[in-house]
Amino acid sequence: MTEKLATYIDRARLNQHDAWTGEYFLGESEQRELTCFKCFIASKIDLFVRVELFPLANWLWSPSGCFVQFKVEGRSFRLVHEQNDETHLLIDKDGRFEMLLSLPDADRRFEDQLLIAIGNEIEVHDQ
């Protein structure tokens, strides 16, 4: 299976799950939260980096917070914005998302640390 096909299948599964839980149809306040999350990410990560990281990403809202789910080299990651002014980078390990990195929202090296953590995980996986 190609990576693109796997992404399309994952997206379809997410859409199906969202339809079952009612989260697919966001209300005005949830849509506003998701928009604010996207703006926050845009303020922390350069446009050219975002284009590379999130070309087929799923931007999602849940009661616990907003997150973006994306893939790099076939590995599934989530970037989750928490209520405590932190953002967590999670990786899917055997169907469970585990934390790789916790970044304070005010960290000036947010983008660099995020990219290094993703790069390290990909390199370790490829060995």
pTM tops 0.75: yes
- Joined tokens for residue 105: 């929202």
DSSP label at residue 66 = E
> What pLDDT, in 10s, does the model give residues 97-110?
999 999 999 999 99
Which of 102, 101, 114 is CA-nearest to residue 44?
Answer: 114
Mean pLDDT of the chain: 84
9-57 residue pLDDT tens: 766 666 555 444 444 556 788 888 888 999 999 999 999 999 999 988 9
- CA angle at residue 81 from 24 to 20, to 5 degrees? 20
CA 69 → CA 44, 108, 127, distances in Å?
Answer: 17, 23, 24
